[in-house]
Amino acid sequence: MNWTQYPDHGPDESLLGPVHGRRVLELGCGTGCNLAHLATLGAECVGIDIAPSQRAKAEARWGDVPGLTFQTAEATEFLADHPNNFDAVLSIFGPVWFTDPTSLLPLVRRALTSRGVFAFSHRPAASDREPGEHLRDSRAVARWDYSAHEWTELLSSASFTSITADIIAPPDGESVGTLVVRAEM
C-alpha cells in the first residue's frame, strides 16, 4: 500500500482500519495497484477513475482479483449516486487534490456508512514544505493545495472527527514529502 509517491514507504493499509469484509472506494484509482492490495486482504473494492484508459489498464492487470471492480466515473458524480455505500473512501494523489473540497467533502460524508473512514494523500502545500524543497510544477490541472492545518479545519467544518494530518518525510535521497490525512465520520 503506497500512500506516498515512493514504493514501500510511509503508512500501510492500517490507516483505513480493518478492511476485511468492508466496502472500500478509491477515487482516482489509476491502474488500481493499491486497491488490488486491499482486495487481497478481503475488502470489497470499487475503483473509479475519470480516464477510461486507466480503467482499461486496471482491468487488464487486476481483472482476475476477486472483490475488485473498476468503473469510469467522475468522483463527485459517482459519490452523489452512492449514498451510505462505503466503509472507507480513499484517494492517493487523486481527485481530493483536484476537486473543490466544499463540493467534495459533503459528498464523501454522504457516501460513507456510519463510522466510515476517509483517507487521502497528496504532495504537501508550499506552506508545509521544508526550506529547499523545490518542485517542478506545470499546473496542468487545478489543485486544492491545502496545508495539514487547513485540511484539519476543512474536515472539521464538514463534521468529520478524529482528524489527523501528517507530513511523511521522504526517504533518504529524496526531497519531497507527502501529506497524509485521515478522518472519520
Binding region for ligand SAM (CB under 6 A): 27-30, 48-51, 54, 74-75, 92-95, 98-99
Shortest spacing between CB 48 and ligand SAM, in angstroms = 6
CB of 93 to ligand SAM, least distance (A): 4
Minimum gap (Å) between residue 29 Cβ and ligand SAM: 6
- Residue 132 vs 139, nearer CB to ligand SAM: 139
Q: If you write DSSP's letter for every residue of the chain in order, what string do you get?
A: --SSSSTT-S--GGGG---TT-EEEEET-TT-HHHHHHHHTT-EEEEEES-HHHHHHHHHHHTTSTTEEEEE--HHHHHHT-TT-EEEEEEESSHHHHS-HHHHHHHHHHHEEEEEEEEEEEPPPGGGSPTT--------S------HHHHHHHHHHTT-EEEEEEEEPPPTT----EEEEEEE-
